[in-house]
Amino acid sequence: MKCFSCFSSSKKKDERDASTTSAGTNTEGSSSTDVPASSSTPGNSSAEASNTVPNIATQKFTFRELEIATKLFLDECVIGEGGFGKVYKGTLERTGQVVAVKHLNLDGAQGSREFLNEVSMLSHLQHQNLVNLVGYCSEGDQKLLVYEYMPSGSVEDHLFDLKRGQQPLDWFTRMRIAFGAAEGLEYLHDKVDPPVIFRDLKASNILLDGNFNPKLSDFGLAKIGPVGNNTHVSTMIAGTYGYCAPEYAMTGHLKVTSDVYSFGVVLLELISGRRAFDDVKPTHEKSLVVWAKPMLGDQTRYPDLIDPLIKNDYPPKGLKQAVAIAAICLQEKASNRPRMCDVAMALEPITVADIESPSPRSSTSSVPPLPDETSAAKGTSTSGSHNA
C-alpha cells in the first residue's frame, strides 16, 4: 500500500535549504564568551560535534545583572515555571533587550547537568525555529539561562484551558506551528552532524513569538544521536509521559525516530485540542494516542478528531493530510516512521488556505498522496521509511 511518496525520496542534504546552517547569534551590545569549560558538546566524548557545528557567541552575565533585569526576581515578573525552576521576564539594563530568564531550582528534578547540557547545545545550534540563547550565569550555586523573550508564550498556553475571552488558535495557525516545529527537528536531525535528538518535544516546549512563529525550547534533555554504524543511543529514560516513543520507553534506546513519534503526538494535540495525557478524562480517553487510534484508520471519522473550538472552520483536505501525517509519525515500529524533512515537506502545503497551491519547498515534487485509511493506523510498512 502506498504512503507518502516524498517519504521515499533520496534527496541529498545539500539539496535542502542551506540557510539554516549559518552561525552567529545577534547579541547586540554584548561580548561573546566561551561556554562553561565542563559543558563540552553533550553526550559526545569526542570533538567531532564541536568540529562540525559552529560555536555561537553567548554572553556571560553576572547574577547582579539578572537581579536588576528581573527587579530582584519579582513574582510579578514570573512568566512560567517547571521542573527546572521559574522563568522571569526581564530587561537587560545595558541594551534594553527584553529577555526571558530561567532560574535553576536547585531542589528541582533537573539540575546542573541539564543546565550545562542546554548551554552547550544552544551554543552550538542556531535555526529560526530554535529558541535563541542570549547568555547564561553561573556564580556558585546560582545557575541561570537567558533567552530571547517569546511574547506569545507556549503552544500549551493556546491549546488547553483557555482563559475567559482568549481566542483559540485557528486551523492554519496550528498547521504553521506544526510546520515550524517540524523544520526545527529537521535541522537537528539532518543539518547537524552528528545529529541531535531533542528528546522532550511537547506543547509546553514549543514557544511562540509575537507572530506565532514556533521555536523549540528547553534542550536540557537533548542528546547527541548515534554516529557511525550505531543505530541508537542507550540512555536513561527521560521525557514526558504521553509523548515518549514506545520503544524508547521500554528499552531506553534513543533514536531520531523517537522525536518523530513525539512530533506525531504534538500534531494530534494541535488537531484535537486534547492533551497527550489527561488524567481527568475517562480511562479510554486519558491517552490521546489510544483515544485517537480507531479514528486514524477511518477517514470518515477524521472530523471527530477536530478541536471543537475550531468548529467547522477547517479545510477537509487539509485535515485529511494532517491526520495522515500524524498517523505515520505514530507508527509503533520505529523504522516505519518518516524522516522529519519529509514530514515538513508534507506539512507545508496545508499551512495556507489553498492546499493545491505549489509549495516553494516542494516545487520539484507534487504534494504527497495520502495513505489509505488502514495502512497508517495499523502500522503497514512504508516503502523508503527512515530506518533508525
Helices 256-272 and 340-347 sit at what angle, rounded to 10 degrees? 30
Say if CB 123 and CB 35 are below 8 A apart. Answer: yes
102 carries a ligand binding annotation: yes
Say if CB 193 and CB 226 are below 8 A apart. Answer: no
Give the Cα separation of 24 and 283 in Å (integer). 49
Give the Cα separation of 90 and 178 in Å (integer). 28
Say if CB 326 and CB 246 are below 8 A apart. Answer: no
Least Cα distance to 230 among 343, 387, 336 occurs for: 387
Please name the residue ranges forming H helices in the chain: 48-52, 63-69, 112-124, 155-159, 171-186, 246-251, 256-272, 288-296, 316-329, 340-347, 375-378
At 262, list the grid cell.
513525539
Catalytic: 200? yes
Catalytic annotation, pick one of 75, 107, 170, 200: 200
Enumerate the β-bridge partners of residue 208.
Answer: 214
∠ CA 337-340-345, nearest 5°, is 110
Please report the sign of the dihedral spanned by the C-alpha atoms of residue 240, residue 242, residue 243, residue 246: positive
Radius of gyration of the chain (CA): 21
Sheet architecture: strand order including 133-139:
59-60, 133-139, 142-148, 98-104, 85-91, 78-81
At 312, list the grid cell.
467547522
Q: Give backbone dihedrals phi and psi of 278, rounded to 5 degrees, phi first.
A: -130, 105
Strand extents, DSSP E, the chain: 59-60, 78-81, 85-91, 98-104, 133-139, 142-148, 196-197, 206-208, 214-216, 223-224, 233-234, 253-254
The catalytic residues are 200
- Residue ranges of the binding site: 102
